[in-house]
Amino acid sequence: MSLKNAMTADFLRSAYGGESMAHMRYTIWADSAEKDGYPNIARLFRGIAYAEWVHAKNHFNVLRDQVGDATVAAGAVFGHTNIVENLQGAIDGELHEVEQMYPVYLETAKFQGESEAQKSFHYALEAEKIHAKMFKEAQDKAKEGKDIGDESIYICPICGFTEIGVTVDKCPVCGVKREMFKEF
């Protein structure tokens, strides 16, 4: 089913832009965390960067029939200073998505009867809630000069659901088997 409504399409483009930049920013901040002696926070950034790539890919695929150029305006976070500030940037970006952006995008897609966009926004919204919490916990540790624990971080390749350690048999958001999860 192809997209019919211009406003939902605009929101998908913007969300694609926002997720693409988040992916890039987190890989940059991961390298810094590694260099500064926080290998596990670096892993968290890399795992969550992959989740944002999953979201960007989902949005891009919903737009598959919208062929051609577009200028994309999207929320962005800048700054590359120290681990605590970088994590604050990550928290702020995730909270913007959770509290402002995705709830509005999701309701618009629902109102416009765009079921594929609705699913893509729903997947992202659920993952970003978890990301905000994980980055906050990592920041609390970093403020004390400590790294987070060394348990594996798992990401659902379909929806971006993220967990630390093994807790679920299947993805609670999209239902895919956990064997499919990507480990960081």
Q: Is 102 in the site for Fe ion (CB under 5 A)?
A: no
List the interface residues with Fe ion, window 69-88 (CB under 5 A). none
Structure tokens at 65: 């029939």
Q: Is 174 in the site for Fe ion (CB under 5 A)?
A: yes
Structure tokens at 173: 């958001």
Side-chain half-sphere CA neighbours of 144 within 13 A: 8
The CA–CA distances, whole Å, from 25 to 53, 86, 87, 89, 141 equal 12, 9, 11, 10, 21
Taking contact as CB under 5 A, which single stretch among the options 72-80, 101-109, 140-148, 160-168 is the one that binds Fe ion?
160-168
Q: Is 173 in the site for Fe ion (CB under 5 A)?
A: yes
Q: Is 128 in the site for Fe ion (CB under 5 A)?
A: yes
Q: How many residues bind Fe ion (CB under 5 A)?
A: 10
Structure tokens at 62: 């919903």
Residue of the chain from 43, 46, 59, 131 that contacts Fe ion (CB under 5 A):
131
Q: Is 24 in the site for Fe ion (CB under 5 A)?
A: no
Helices (H), 112-175: 115-143
Residues that bind Fe ion (CB under 5 A): 94, 128, 131, 156, 158-159, 161, 171, 173-174
